[in-house]
Chains A and B, each alone.
Chain A
Amino acid sequence: MGTRIMVVDDSPMIFAQMESLLKDTEFEIAAYCQDGEEAVAQYDQIRPDLITMDIIMPGMDGLETAQVLLEDHPEARIVMVSSLAYDETFEEARTIGAKGFIDKPFEKDRLVEALQKAMEE
């Protein structure tokens, strides 16, 4: 069985893109959540190995969601996925406890490399 990922992103397009790019890799998508509230509600049931988390989402944003998840589940491995790729966002993500950051738009090699790195940490 591969590394099970929970994708949290309000855009179904990103979910479809990840599903396509991660085909034939060691990663498999175990769940897709369209907002932070859904991710918090589903985490216990899914228990993914890794979470990819968008930042700009309706309701709780991705950084708030990551913080809530990590408070309740410090073992959760979260990689932020956003085009808000600048120092302050990186720092905020690191402080919360995220394991990595993927800049949108992304390609297969960069996506897989970032996910592998997050699993090694």
Chain B
Amino acid sequence: MGTTLTQRDLEKLLDRIVQEVTELVTGIALRPWEGPLKGDPRTVRIDFKKGALTSLTLCTDAALLARMTRNALNAESPAAQDMAEFAKEFFNILCGKIATVLYRETKVSARFSVPRFYDSRYEPEDRRVQFVLTYADEHQGGAQLIHYVPRDGENTAT
């Protein structure tokens, strides 16, 4: 029998996973940040299809995404296409880890869509923001993980 997570529980869980996976895959330490996201944004989105019917986007400034890609791929000057491919695979891994931890906590199995990449800040029109987690690395490069829920319902993560 599973348990239900509160929004606060979910925020804490996602916060932990974002920091752990980013450090594991890219070696970059992201820390919670109070300020706005600066720079030239890039966004990657997934929709959960089974379990929670919610969406997640990761919006990063291009300079931070370039550093993440460079570190993960050992590429000195990653091309835009490399950054897009890296962002999609990174988010795929991040969301897989989120689904894994959610399953352990709630026994609800989740599947999600193939990640989609946008060369800009992207906000799904059919969703409303439930919460935003904002981070910065040591160079003040910003990233936001945004959790969306359907507009016409109050479906939370579990």
Contacts and interface: CB of A to CB of B under 8 A. Distances in A.
Interface stretch (B34-42, B93-101, B134-142): B93-101
A86 B104 contact: yes
Q: Using C-beta atoms within 8 Å of the partner chain, give the interface range for chain A.
A: 10 to 19
B89 A11 contact: yes
A84 interface: yes
B73 A83 contact: no
B25 A105 contact: yes
Nearest to A9: B89
B144 interface: no
B114 A85 contact: no
B127 to A, nearest CB: 20
B103 interface: yes
Interface string B87-118: 01100111111011001100001011110000
A43 B111 CA distance: 26
Interface in B63-98: 73, 82, 85-86, 88-89, 92-97
User: What are the 9 A-B residue pairs with the smallest beta carbon separation, nearest first?
Assistant: A83-B96, A86-B103, A11-B89, A83-B93, A86-B100, A88-B109, A84-B96, A13-B89, A58-B114
Contacts of A84: 96, 99-100, 111
State the majority secondary structure of interface residues on A: loop
A83 B131 CA distance: 24
A86 B93 contact: no
Given A13-B73, A56-B96, A57-B114, 10 more contacts: A11-B89, A13-B89, A56-B111, A56-B114, A58-B114, A82-B96, A83-B92, A86-B100, A88-B103, A105-B93
Given A11-B88, A13-B73, A104 B93 contact: yes
Contacts of A37: none
A10 interface: yes
Interface in A84-112: 84-89, 104-105
B12 to A, nearest CB: 19
B68 to A, nearest CB: 12
A118 interface: no
Nearest to B103: A86
Given A12-B85, A86-B109, A88-B109, A56 B92 contact: yes
